[in-house]
Amino acid sequence: MKIIVLISFIITISYSTAGTISFIGPCSSDPVFKTQFSIDNISNAGKVTIDTLKKFNIPHIGTAQGMNSIFDTPTGSDAIEVVSDNEMHAYGWCFSVNGFEPAEYPVNIEVLEKDHILWWFGYATFKDGQWITQCTPSHTRQAAQFCN
């Protein structure tokens, strides 16, 4: 009986410490993809991201330093939304680890197997000659150029 309880406890601990990685696209707050990841001891958010995208054959442009496109999202001038003569939104991918948005490249952010990595397609606002926001989730605007 003690062995069964011990095995159940170990399985529960192993399952509950699995890390997760999720990707939220341009048009909905629901993840377009979510999975668990396993690492040996310590890794970084960039490596876990690239390993996940490759493992599941998810189209992407980027490296462990950062992502330009995931799931064929636009890049370059196709990722710019002109709102008015003095305002624009520049779209791209942002990330957090356990709800914290670091001002660092993903490769510089250590993750453990129990952590949660979240990527979302977001935008930065340039208005009246200065950047006033960054990493606002794009699904809050649902810009026509991304959401038909």
- Fold entry, domain 19-140: Ferric Hydroxamate Uptake Protein; Chain A, domain 1 (2.170.130)
85: left (phi over 0), alpha (psi -120 to 50) or beta: alpha
Neighbour tally for 28: CB within 10 Å: 13
Chain centre to alpha carbon of residue 69: 11
Q: How confident is the model at residue 3 (pLDDT cuts 50, 70, 90)?
A: low
Q: How confident is the model at residue 42, as a pLDDT?
A: 84
Provide the residue ranges of all domains of the chain, joining segments of one domain with +. Answer: 19-140
Average pLDDT (42-69) is: 96
Q: How confident is the model at residue 27, as a pLDDT?
A: 96
Q: How confident is the model at residue 17 (pLDDT cuts 50, 70, 90)?
A: low
Strands 19-24 and 31-37: antiparallel
Q: How confident is the model at residue 41 (pLDDT cuts 50, 70, 90)?
A: confident
Residue with tokens 């950047």: 131
Average pLDDT (103-132) is: 97
* Average pLDDT of the residues of the chain: 90
How far is it, in rounded angstroms, from Cα 74 to Cα 14?
38
How far is it, in rounded angstroms, from Cα 101 to Cα 88?
23
Strands 42-44 and 110-112: antiparallel
- pLDDT above 50 (res 145): yes
- pLDDT above 90 (res 54): yes
Structure tokens given for 39: 């690492």
